[in-house]
Structure 1
Amino acid sequence: MAVTGKQIKTDYIINSRPWWKFSQRQSMAYLMVLPSILVIVLVVFLPISQTIWLSLNDYDKRIQQQPDFIGLQNYIDSFTKESLRTRLLDAFGFTTGFALISVGLEFVFGMGVALVLNQQFRGRALVRAVVLIPWSLTTVVVARMWGLIYNSEYGVLNSILKSLGLIDKDILWTANKGITFWAVTFADVWKSTPFVALILLSGLQLISGDLYEAARVDGATWLQSFWHITLPGLRPTILVALLFRTIDASRIFDMVFVLTEGGFGTESLNYYTYQELFRKQNFGFGSSLAVITFCYIMIIAIIYIKVLGNREDQQR
């Protein structure tokens, strides 16, 4: 029997309901996720909203008890007042440079480690467990350990370099503006390279061995196989690894706090925010720095997600 347009319209009117009226199944689904939504609101959105509100106020706890609404003045001061702008730009520069260099080195070293661990050899499981030890340690412990290694008086690094004849006097690794950046970066690379290697290793194990076998039959070299099989196969995994590590590196705080306390050109955005919020108790201006840092990291995440989305669309 043919269905007329009038009958379809009548069925649609009968079966449709307003958006605020849910079916029993929909109501049950919303009730089941409601606890999670409430937790997210309390843990994430409520503190963010409070921080944004405080950033719109002049609220120096040392001299006043109540916040005074000033709108965007804290943000304007951050980028217009000479001293504040210089410090903020220096923090941006260190944070960006640190993120780019540390993540780049971690990717190179992590790729090498992942390629080695992907091979079949005796004791591979033990080697994988040992490689993950730096990543399993907390950042504060790693920073304290490297602080002892870098110590100018009794540090192991200076002793080794002097015994090899590479230096004739102790180097101030964490008290020299030209060297301290690299000291902090290398400590972070040592800790985080296993994380990148672990992610890349998971991607390597998803690439079919038949592709490499076919490439060998065709006479492809190792480098050609790596360029035309490994890298394209790892592309989504690489982007995920870089996304996680870049966001994490942009939030650097504890490594700087323990090793240098933000001195000698190593003040990151998070450390600058910490100084204003907790050391100076300037909750208004410190909250504006926190919002600026949040926007900075969010932009990085959006760029990576855009790249990931484009790659997925191309694969489809």
Structure 2
Amino acid sequence: MQADKTHSREQRRIPKHERLSECSEESTGWILVIPALLLLLLVYAYPILSSFWSSLFAENLGTQLQPVFSGLANYQRMMGDGRFWQAMWNTTIFTVVSVLLELVLGMIIALILHRCPTGSASSAPGGHRRPFPGRNLVRTIAILPWALPTALIGLAWAWIFNDQFGVVNDILLRLGIIEQGINWLGMPNTAMMAAIAADVWKATPFISILLLAGLQSIPTDLYEAHSLDGATPWQNFTLITLPLLMPQILIALLFRFAQAFGIFDLIKVMTGGGPGGATEMVSLYIYATVMRYLDFGYGAALIVVTFLLLVFAVAIAFWGLSKSRAQIN
């Protein structure tokens, strides 16, 4: 009995050369990763730490030439700054609505590009549906809005929603839906709606291409086996497509959330934050605080708080991503 235990321990014992090989591979991995980590710390950590240090000073070139240490006074000021919280609310509404619309439309486009057939299923080899011949061309055209400069898109959509010669008013007038042109960018609710429409038009192709790549990685055997059990297309989508596509969905949401939350150029070109601050985002408020009012200390505090909120949101997204992967595995 003792001999059997000794023999089993010897079988479980890892040879010395294999242990050295594993240690060598791990060390090589760290050697390759450390330079990238140091670069990330230099690029990201230093500006944030520098902003935090600046936020501890009252530094306004409009009223004083030398910075004065003020501790957490800038953060206390922020708590009572109604304009900042209004900008935060505007940013949240813009981000949530635009990203959700982009996800829904991107999913629809991805499913269409992935499953568009020509003819019946029986006409294709093996009984499978064949994609239409121009699918690659459609994919290329679909990504064009994402490749265009955001400033140009803002100018184009500002013209589309122009109250005098815009395309939207012209179409609605011709259809008899309205009797006179609507000042889309001059009213709070419609200005936010116009900005969201422009952002959705630009970012939806990116979401669709990302989800399309995920759809193509799902084995077709899963759908065939599920269909043999009498599953409907909706059941295939909810029980197979959606769970297996969840990592790509979370990555798309994470990427687009960070981009939409920091939106600047599109709003700056289309509305400038107006009317009456109805479309002023946090990024525009920080820009005005630093560049127009020259209040560097308070602007640095705004940057730090915005960064911490983004980190919190990203951490939640990564937690959701890891949880979904664990469920899939």
How far apart are the structure 1 equivalents of 2:268 and 2:227?
51
CA contact (8 A) 2:113 2:212 kept: yes
Question: Deviation of residue 51 (structure 1)?
Answer: 0.8
- Which residue does 1:135 correspond to in 2? 146
Name which of 167, 176, 187 aligns with 1:165.
176
Looking at structure 2, the residues matched to 240 and 25 of structure 1 have their Cα atoms a distance apart, in angstroms, of: 29
Asked whether the 8 Å contact 1:95–1:269 carries over to 2, the reply is: yes
Please identify, of 32-41 and 61-70, the stretch whose mean Cα deviation from structure 2 is larger. 32-41
Q: Percent identity?
A: 41
In the TM superposition, what whole-angstrom CA distance separates every residue of 1:185-209 from its partner, at most 9, and x where no partner exists? 0110000001111111111011111
- Deviation of residue 227 (structure 1)? 1.2
Q: 1:194 aligns with which of 205, 222, 225?
A: 205
User: Is the CA contact (8 Å cut-off) linking 1:135 and 1:192 kept in structure 2?
Assistant: yes
Within the alignment, does 1:295 sit opposite 2:308 as a pair? Answer: yes
Cα 1:127–1:207, aligned 2, differ >3 Å: closer, same or farther? same
Match of 1:115 among 100, 111, 115: 111
Distance verdict in 2 for CA 1:35–1:217, change over 3 Å: closer
1:28-56, Cα deviation, whole Å (9 max, x unpaired): 87776665455434422222211111111
Structure 2: distance between partners of 1:210 and 1:37: 41
User: Is the contact made by 1:57 and 1:71 (CA closer than 8 Å) also made in structure 2?
Assistant: yes
Q: Give the corresponding residue for 2:246.
A: 235
Alignment match, 2:128: none
State the alpha-carbon separation in 2 of the partners of residues 241 and 311 from structure 1.
Answer: 14
Structure 2 SS opposite 1:174 = helix
- 1:69 equivalent in structure 2: 69
Residues 35, 65 of structure 1: alpha-carbon distance in 2 compared, 3 angstrom cutoff: farther
Give distance in 2, aligned partners of 1:230 and 1:38: 39
**Aligned equivalents of 2:60 and 2:260: distance in 1?**
30
304-313 or 268-277, which deviates more: 304-313
How many angstroms does 1:64 deviate by? 2.1
How far apart in 2 are the matches of 1:308 and 1:195? 19
d(CA) in 1 for partners of 2:273, 2:85: 14
String of CA shifts for 1:129-169, please: whole Å, max 9, x gaps: 00001111121111111011111111111111111111111
Task: Letter of the 1:201 partner, please give it.
Answer: L
Aligned-residue CA RMSD (Å): 2.2
Using a 3 Å threshold, how does the CA distance of structure 1 residues 216 and 31 change in structure 2: closer, same or farther?
Answer: closer
Name the aligned partner's letter for residue 132 of structure 2: F
Aligned to 1:56: 56
SS state at 1:96 partner: helix
Q: List aligned pairs for 1:167-186, cutoff 5 A.
A: 167-186=178-197
Q: Could you say which residue in structure 1 is the equivalent of 2:162?
A: 151
Question: Which amino acid in the other structure matches residue 275 of structure 1?
Answer: A
Distance 1:307 1:31, change over 3 A: closer
Amino acid at match of 1:308: L
Q: Distance in 1 between matches of 2:169 and 2:315?
A: 42
- Superimposed CA distance per residue, residues 226-253 of structure 1 (whole angstroms, 9 cap, x where no aligned partner): 1111111111111111111111111111
TM superposition shift of 1:312: 2.6
- Partner residue of 2:124? none
Equivalent AA in structure 1 for residue 160 of structure 2: I
Partner of 1:271: 284
**3-state secondary structure, aligned to 2:186:** coil
Is the 2:215–2:241 contact (alpha carbons within 8 Å) kept by the matching residues of 1?
yes
Structure-1 residue corresponding to 2:99: 103
Q: Which runs of 5 or more structure 2 residues have no equivalent in the other structure?
A: 1-5, 7-22, 116-130
2:87 corresponds in structure 1 to 91
Displacement, 1:75?
0.5
Q: Does 1:312 align with 2:305?
A: no
Residue 212 (structure 1) aligned with residue 223 (structure 2): yes
Aligned-pair CA distance for 1:178: 1.9
Q: Distance in 1 between matches of 2:262 and 2:209?
A: 21
Counterpart of 2:112, as a letter, is: V
State the alpha-carbon separation in 1 of the partners of residues 40 and 314 from structure 2. Answer: 19
Deviates more, 1:58-67 or 1:281-290: 58-67
Residue 256 of structure 1 corresponds to 267
TM-aligned CA distance change 1:240 to 1:216, over 3 Å: same
Q: Residue 103 of structure 1 contacts residue 246 of structure 1 at CA under 8 Å; is this kept in 2?
A: yes
Question: How far, CA to CA, are the matches of 1:71 and 1:259 in structure 2?
Answer: 38
- Report the AA paired with residue 238 of structure 1: I
TM-score (norm 1): 0.86
Structure 1's 214 and 199: CA in aligned 2 closer, same or farther, altered over 3 A?
A: same
* TM value normalised by structure 2: 0.83
| Cα distance in 1 for residues equivalent to 2:42 and 2:231 | 56
Superposed CA offset, 1:64-98 (max 9, x none)? 22211111110101113xxx2x1122111111111
